[in-house]
Structure formats: C-alpha cells, structure tokens
Amino acid sequence: MAFLQFATSAEDGGSIGTTISANNAASSFAPLEWQIIQLARHDGLSSLRAPDRWDRLKTWIFGERANPRLANGRLESLRRLAVDAWHRGYAVRPSYLKAFLKAGFNENQLETLLAAISARRRA
C-alpha cells in the first residue's frame, strides 16, 4: 500500500499532520457515484436491455414509466454494473466489466463496488 505524506514538521514551522492513502483515493467513488450505486439497487435486470415490442405495448397501454438510464455514458456504465452486481453478486457479466473499465474506472474501484454491494446484500 502506498502512502503520501503531506506533513510539515514542527521545525519547519508547520503544524499540519495529515497522511493520505493513495490506494484509498484510487478506490473511492464520488458522492454522486455512490448515489447511483444505491439507486441501482431498486432497478431490475430489465432496465439493462433495450425496450422491445412488449415494453412499448405496456407503455402505450399503461402510460410512460420512468427511464432509469443515465445520459452520461460513464455513469451509465457504473449503473449497469451496479444493477448486475445487486442481482448477481460477484458473477457480473464480462461485457459490463469491460464497459466499466473502459469508462475510466479502475480495478480498485471495481473491487470496492463489488465488496460494498456484497456486504449490503448479506445484511
């Protein structure tokens, strides 16, 4: 584990003594991303596929339903992986993993996401 030390000694005249873990910074999500992960808990697996004829017929008969898809591609890849993880645990689809990593997330964030969802599923 790598640490970055941002501290000045008393000899330098400073009193700041903060240590930040570079590994934790690389594996954390922004508050908005955590909200998306929590909201994905309530999305069904059907939200991952494109609407078909049956979905359009139900929309025509019963009215429009909320579309859970996000306009931001990066956040949508996070939502798709989170939905799959909420329903399937660690057995997520490889295509969602690839899209997640391609969107700019890293493997530490993937581990954090899957571990957090797994812990919540057990509770």
Closest among 110, 56, 49, 107 to 78, alpha carbons compared: 110
Say what the pLDDT of residue 25 is. 55
Q: Residue 105 corresponds to which amino acid?
A: F
Length, in residues, of the chain: 123
Residues 6+ apart with CB under 8 A from 114: 85, 89, 90, 92
The pLDDT value recorded for residue 66 is 65
pLDDT in tens, the chain (123 residues): 444 444 444 444 443 333 334 455 556 899 999 999 998 898 877 777 776 787 778 778 887 666 677 888 899 999 999 999 999 999 999 999 999 999 999 999 999 999 999 999 887
Contacts of 109 (CB under 8 A, 6+ apart): 26, 27, 28, 29
pLDDT for the residue numbered 104 = 93
Largest CA distance in the chain: 75
Phi, psi of 47 (to 5 degrees): -75, -10
Confidence (pTM)? 0.69
From residue 83, give the alpha-carbon distance in Å to each of 43, 67, 91, 110: 6, 14, 12, 13
What pLDDT score does 14 carry? 42
